[in-house]
Structures are given as C-alpha cells and as structure tokens.
Amino acid sequence: MTATDNPLLTPSTLPYGIPDYAAIKPEHYVPAFQAAFAEQRQQINAITRVRSAPTFENTLEAWERTGAHLEDVAHAFYTVSSADGTTDIQAIEEELAPLYTAHGDAIILDSALYARVRSIWESRDEHDYTPEQRYLIERRYAEMTHAGAGLGDDAKDRLKGLNTRLASLTTTFEKNLLADTNALAPHFTDATALDGVNSGELDAARAAAADRGEEGYLLSLPLFTGHPLLSSLTNRATRETVMAASRARATTGVNTNTDVLLEIARLRAERAELLGYASHAAYITSDETAGSPEAVHTRLRELAAPAARNARAEQQALQQLIDANEAEPFELQAHDWAYYTEKVRAEKYDVDTAALRPWFEAERVLQDGVFFAATQLYGITFAERADLPTYHPDARTFEVFNADGSALGLFVLDLYTRDTKRGGAWMNPLVSQSRLRGTKPVVVNNLNVPKPASGPTMLTLDEVNTLFHEFGHALHGLFAVVTYPHFAGTNVFRDFVEFPSQVNEMWIMWPEVLNNYARHIDTGEPLDAGVVARMQESETFNQGFATSEYLAAAWLDQAWHSLSAAEAAAITDVAAFQAAALADIGLDNAVVPPRYASTYFAHVFSGGYSAGYYSYIWSEVLDADTVEWFKESGGLTRANGDRFRQRLLGVGGSKDPLEAYRDFRGRDAEIAPLLKRRGLDT
C-alpha cells in the first residue's frame, strides 16, 4: 500500500496535523503501524550505534525526535477504538495489542540505549542542563530501570512474554465488557415500567431501542454500578432489573471476564516479582507520588471507617422513610438507595435533582458554563470548526485561542453514548504539543450521555459534573507547554493526573458561572437562589455512600494487586475474593456495592489505573486544598487563572508534580479541606 493509497503513511496536511478521518479506512491502520514501527526502530538503532560518547543531544533529545509518525498513527487509531470500536476496529485492536507492546518493550528494554541513558544520568551534575532537560534525564533513567532495562537477557525475554500476554488480556477484558454491557442493557416493551422518568429520558430510551431495530425502550448501561435513572424510577421491580443487569456484567457466559482478570492479576504479580517487587501494587506505587502501597492502604483505611459509619447513618434514614411511607415496608436494597435518597434530599433540603434537568441543556452548559468559566479564568476563546473532519458525526471540533488571539489548539467533544463506545468518560490527546516537534495540542473529551431522538439534550447534575471534570483534563492537555514530547499534556504521575480535572469541577456551582449557564430551557429563568442555596447546603448529603462506594472500588484494586505471585495463583473464586477484601476494610455493606466490581472494573483491568484507582482520592487532597486557595484569593479571576495555568497546568509533566504544587500553593496540601468536603471531619 502506497502513501497515495493510505493517508496514514504520510504526515497530515490538515490544520494542527489532525488525522484526515474522511479519508482513513480501517484497512489503513495496520500497514501504517507496521511502517511506523519499522521507522522508529531504525531511528533508535541510529542512536545506539553512535560511536561517540553519550550526550543529552545525541541520545535523549534524539530519542525524543523518534516515533513522531507512530504517535500520530496511534493517536488516530486509539481515539477511534475507544469511541467507535466497530467489529473491524476491535479486530485490529486485538491484532495490534501484542505488536504495540513488543515494540515498546524493544525500546524501553534496549540494553545499549539504557547504557547511554545511565551514563548521562551518572554525569548529570557535571553539566549545565535546563530544568526540563535534567528532569528528562532523571525520568527516562528511572522509567527504564523501573521497566526492567537492567535485567539479564533471560529475565527480559520472560518479561517481554508477560507484557505481550497482558496486552492481549486487557484488550480481551475491554472487548468482553463492551459486548456484555450491550447484551445486558435492560429492554422494556411497556413505558409504564419506566414510570418516573421524564419525556426526554423516555425518548432517549426509545431511540436507543430503535438504533438496534427494536421497539420499546432500552436503557444503556453506564460503566459504574447502577444507573442514573435509579433515582427516578418508581417501579421497584424495574429498579431491581436495572441494578441486576449492571452488576451481572461479564460475570458469566461467553463474555465472562472472571478467568481473564484472574490471569491478569497472576501475571502482573509474576512480573512484579521478576522486577524485584513484592506485588504489582508495590511496583506501580514505587514510581508514583504515593511511594508505596502501605501509604495508600493507610490513607484508604483512615477514610473507610468514617465513610462506612456515615453510610450506615444514611441507610438508617432511608429505611425509616420506607417504614413510614410505604404501605408494605421492605428492607432497603442496593437498587433502592438512589430513589429514596432523592426523597430524603427533597424532604430535608427541598431539592429534587431530577427536576433540575430543564436548567441543564447541554449546549448551554458547554458554551455558557464550561467555556465561559475557562474564558473568565484564562482568557481563552472558542470557535467551532465544522469544516474539520472527525471520526464520528457526533464529534465536534472547536479551535481554541489565547487571550491575545493566538492559536492554542483544538478541542474535540464527543458527548453521546453508542454501542461502539466504551463506558465512562475520558480525555485523550489526538496531537501532543511539543516545541521540539513544532506541534500544538489537539485533545478529545468523550462522555456517554444518552442521545435524545430529537430536540435539545438535557443533562443530569452528574453529567454536568462529568463535563466540567473532563474539560479540566482537556485544559491540562491544552495548556502544557513543553519542549520534549515525553512531558506533553497530561503525561504526569497517575496519582496526580486527576487533580486538575477535579479542580475544574468547582466552577459548576460558582455563582457567576451557574447563573450564566443554568437557565430554564423554556423560560430562560435562572435557577432560583433558594434552590441554589439549598443545593450548597446539601453538598455533604449522601457523602457516606459516595465515599464508601469509591473507597470500596479503590480497595478492590489494591487487594487484587497487592497479591504475591503465589497468592494470586491460589485465587480461583472472584466473587469470594471480592467479598473477603471488602470485609477486610469494613466496606462490605450489601446496600452500598463498590462503584466498580471486579468483572467490569475497566479502569484497572483494561485501562491505565491498575493499582492506581486510589489516585482520585489522593488527588482530591490537592483539589480540595486548591479550591480553598481560589476562594481565599478572589475566585474566578484572570490573575488566579493565570497563576494556576503558568505554575501548574502549563508545566505538563516537565517538573515534579508536588514541587509544581508547592510553587503554585506556597506549601504542601493539607487534608482538612477534603475531610470537611466529604463529611469525614466529625
């Protein structure tokens, strides 16, 4: 296949170097990957065969110049495979998984390259490097050592085999989960089963069924345990059906993930021991800000006890409501929690979150909320570029400009759920910024909002939160200005990466922002000030549940990945292991299931969060402390935004993240604001 036939064989000529998705076909990807693999191997060989002594320029900077073609192809493909994974794309992903891993291993484990990097690292104090150059030396050496570059040849061969097998297994896990999520989506023929949902939600369910050629109503399952509509559905049998479907995903049948995740856990533990670590968790955290699994376990246990206590108090209040109001009282179950929580919220605070949807029209939330807050803080502006090709008709592209009118980059938003999109919400780069390569950033946000059959899209409060959260990641990707692509965008420690996105959530309820976007779809009236005040008053409401379900998932991740190889090999019953782990930390409350159970825990078994799901609460310490700083410093101002951008978001991964935080905040983060936010300070 020639460059004329395959647009991925040559650099894109489109603005910002975005892929020409209008011309790209599935059959183009594998040949492009093969060509890009070969090209980077030649580039790396040219570095390792240099006879002159290793220098920063002829080794590390030269390494940074390699692989640009591969990065372009990979970004183009994996953006599609996660957001529009058709059968053809899934087959390509399965074929590529071991090949991509083997290619990466061939570089990161290259003995000659490692020797050159180590030589530069050992003599780093003898040279006047820039801070970014010095940090690149330190990180490349640490990462190669951590990956196993110092092992002997036999151990490296075993390591490569483990990595290749794990790449295939994690791809299988995601494929099985997507298939079972689609297969188990509850289907109802009678609208009365969905009593309690509004007309827009009912239309979206009807459209979802129609997309599959079916009549009736289909509820697409989100990635997390449960469903957003559980808070509205009046029919208890329907609630039970929906929750059962959610929790059954990938547990049995042709799409089961039980054997897959058991093998993943075992092989990760084997790999950790090969690399000299007691467990996969020890291996992962050794190169994160946490430093060790013990530090993570201590933090999670400290939070679990008060969270579980608060959840039990909330459970008691819900049970009392059931006993007092139901003609035939029953014992509260997991599928009842959201429904009766909203009743208690309405009774205690006079707030009905489901009734708020007319104030959260998606386009207005985006333009007058998300974009507005960014403009006020950072001076950036947005212009939609309908002329640029995207990978799916629902994906929209916006050009982003700095306050002085200069071009910053592109932002792509893909809002809606579809059967070919994996669950959850995420940000990924399509083009990474680098001074060395002369590239500007292009970032993508994906959500899974049900698409209405017609008319405007009305968001839930949780979906508004997700939109702001993911845009926080996008800002990190857009604002980072680095020389070396290794540090581009969100290429930071995993237990730091959620911090900027969490901070961006603070603007959802900020009066100036809320009043600008939260306008009734029909009347244009803002949210009543009394409602807003009561929403703010209820911020710690149900935090026992929210914190417990999160901590339960974080602990499951740690439990699976704190096993030795021998311990992992002895596990045969996923459900029993999960139950024992939750009991160990005191989060084994049947009505508060973990946010993600093992068989559908994509973050850790097919995503990049293995032994790292604790990152959300770890980062939230920084987030809550930063929110306090913004409040103390005047809130939504350009001066505050510029400081946050320049000292934290703008450095990308080119600086130790905790050092960057201290530079921004003037001190280390304190945990008290987090405890107060989650109602754990009493």
Tell me if residue 29 falls in helix, strand or coil. helix
Rounded-to-integer distance, Cα 613 and Cα 565, Å: 21
Q: How far is CA 457 from the centre of its chain?
A: 23
Q: How far is CA 674 from CA 292, 312, 623, 670, in A?
A: 21, 20, 8, 8
Q: What is the 3-state secondary structure (H, E, C) of 411-425?
A: EEEEEECCCCCCCCC
| Per annotation, catalytic residue among 361, 399, 470, 620 | 470
How many other CB atoms are there within 10 angstroms of residue 5's CB atom?
11
Q: Distance (Å, rounded) from C-alpha 104 to C-alpha 682?
A: 49
- The three-state secondary structure class of 449 is strand
Inter-residue contact 73 to 33 (CB < 8 Å)? yes
Is 71 assigned a catalytic role?
no
Q: Which helix (H) or strand (E) holds 367?
A: none
Produce one character per residue of 210-225: b if its CB has 16 or more CB atoms within 10 Å, e if not. eeeeeebbbbbbbbbb
Answer yes or no: are the C-beta atoms of 11 and 72 closer than 8 Å: yes
398 within 8 A of 390, measured Cβ to Cβ: no
Question: Which structure tokens are listed for 524?
Answer: 């244009």
Retrieve residue 15's tokens. Answer: 């603005």
Q: Give me the count of residues in the chain.
A: 682
Among residues 512, 528, 529, 510, the alpha carbon closest in space to that of 520 is found at 528
611, 604 in Cβ contact below 8 A? Answer: yes
Residue of 582, 535, 592 whose CA lies nearest to 556: 582
Active site positions, annotated? 470
